[in-house]
């Protein structure tokens, strides 16, 4: 998504928030593994989340940085931390 498209950016942010609320039960149970996989997939194998030189932002950036999405992933992160030894 091009950075100059402000209306599109606001639409994506709104869609991510609404989508996070609709998928809340799934994110509460499996949000941490899904979020981690999204980070790895876009960072290691993809173009990345942001390319400032090109004026480009990945839609995944809006997902992993969304406050509602992050909040809904906290319970599953807590459970995973409690299960892992060390």
For 35-73, how does the pLDDT look when each residue is reduced to its tens digit (9 = 90+)? Answer: 888 888 877 666 777 777 777 888 888 888 899 999 999
Is 70 exposed, middle or buried (CB count within 10 Å of its CB: 0-12, 13-18, 19+)?
middle
Asked if the model's pLDDT at residue 22 lies above 80, the reply is yes
Distances (CA, A) of 30 to 33, 52, 56, 74, 82: 6, 31, 29, 10, 15
Find tokens 């480009």 and name the residue.
56
d(CA 67, CA 17): 8
Domain ranges of the chain: 6-83
């Amino acid at each position: 998504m091009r950075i100059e498209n402000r209306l599109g950016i606001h639409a994506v942010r709104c869609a991510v928030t609404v989508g996070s609320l609709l998928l809340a039960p799934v994110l509460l149970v499996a949000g941490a593994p899904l979020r981690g996989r999204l980070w790895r997939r876009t960072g290691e194998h993809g173009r990345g989340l942001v390319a400032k030189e090109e004026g480009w932002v990945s839609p995944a950036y809006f997902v992993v940085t969304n406050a509602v999405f992050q909040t809904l992933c906290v319970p599953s992160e807590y459970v995973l931390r409690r299960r892992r030894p060390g």
